[in-house]
């Protein structure tokens, strides 16, 4: 799948749409989800044009990958959810119901997040 430079996260990175930024490095940006599903719901995105986890894991540089996951850990620490617990999640493709085609990790926390996955059919 080719990268769509008109996706909402690309527009946020270009400054064409606002975001509630919580952390930024050379290779990654973290901001609050516009429709939070938990008291803490932060999105971490790479600044490079990667469609998904599949694209990012195959094509990003070691520097981008290591910095990205350090940012995920940092925003969880900054949000104060390390002691109480949190969940990181990345949706990929149709079965994963990925809505925005720019790789991102969700960081959820601040409450009991319930079971991991509710299987809806065989």
Closer residue to ligand 5GP (CB): 33 or 54:
33
- Burial label, 56 (beta-carbon count in 10 A; 0-12, 13-18, 19+): buried
Q: Pick between residue 20 and residue 59 the one whose CB is nearest to ligand 5GP.
A: 20
d(CA 48, CA 13): 9
Nearest approach, Cβ of residue 122 and ligand 5GP (Å)? 23
For residue 82, give the DSSP letter. Answer: T
Q: How far is the CB of 67 from ligand 5GP (least distance, A)?
A: 21
41 is catalytic: no
Least Å distance, CB 37 to ligand 5GP, is 7
Annotated active-site residue in 27, 102, 104, 106:
104
Residue whose structure tokens are 């949706």 = 91
Binding site for ligand 5GP (CB under 6 A): 8, 17, 19, 31-35, 91, 97-100
Nearer to ligand 5GP, 5 or 61 (CB): 5
Range list of H helices, the chain: 8-13, 53-59, 62-79
Which active-site residues does the annotation give? 104
């Amino acid at each position: 799948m080719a990268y769509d430079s008109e996706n909402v996260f690309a527009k946020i990175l270009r400054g064409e749409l606002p975001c509630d930024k919580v952390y930024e490095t050379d290779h990654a940006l973290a901001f609050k989800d516009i429709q939070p599903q938990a008291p803490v719901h932060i999105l971490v995105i790479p600044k490079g044009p990667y469609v998904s986890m599949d694209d990012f894991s195959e094509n990003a540089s070691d520097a981008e990958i290591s910095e990205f996951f350090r940012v995920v850990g940092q925003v969880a620490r900054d949000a104060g959810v390390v002691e109480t617990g949190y969940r990181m999640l990345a949706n990929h493709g149709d079965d994963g119901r990925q809505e925005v085609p720019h790789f991102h990790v969700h960081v959820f926390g601040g409450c009991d997040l319930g079971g991991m996955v509710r299987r809806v059919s065989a």
